[in-house]
């Protein structure tokens, strides 16, 4: 009986793991769909324009806006790397 329960538990754990979404990168706590170029662009734009309020972070994509808001929240972070320290390709 214990062996059957252990097998069922392992199977359920495997299914739950495979069903969970996986994101390769994140930027400022926000998930990047493919890469973090949009987030980086928003961050750099905010930096170049001295943006100090999230109300000024509007753009054509959610990733750009999230990058801008990340700058407002943490202007010392930099835009070159994702949250795991991986370099973002331009």
In the chain, where are the structural domains located?
Answer: 33-90
Q: How confident is the model at residue 21 (pLDDT cuts 50, 70, 90)?
A: low
24-48: pLDDT as tens digits: 789 999 999 889 999 999 999 999 9
End-to-end CA distance of the chain: 55
Distance (Å, whole) CA 74 – CA 43:
10
Q: Residue 74: CB partners within 8 Å, gap ≥ 6?
A: 28
For residue 85, pLDDT over 80 is answered with yes
pLDDT of residue 55 exceeding 90: yes
Residue 34: its pLDDT value, please? 81
In which element (H, E) is residue 9 found?
helix 2-19
């Amino acid at each position: 009986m214990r062996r059957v329960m252990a097998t069922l538990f392992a199977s359920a754990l495997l299914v739950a793991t495979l069903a969970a979404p996986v994101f390769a990168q994140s930027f400022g706590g926000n998930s990047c769909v493919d890469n973090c170029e949009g987030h980086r662009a928003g961050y750099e734009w905010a930096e170049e324009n001295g943006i100090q309020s999230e109300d000024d972070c509007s753009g054509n994509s959610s990733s750009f806006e999230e990058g801008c808001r990340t700058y407002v929240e943490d202007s010392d972070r930099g835009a070159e790397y994702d949250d795991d320290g991986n370099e973002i390709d331009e």
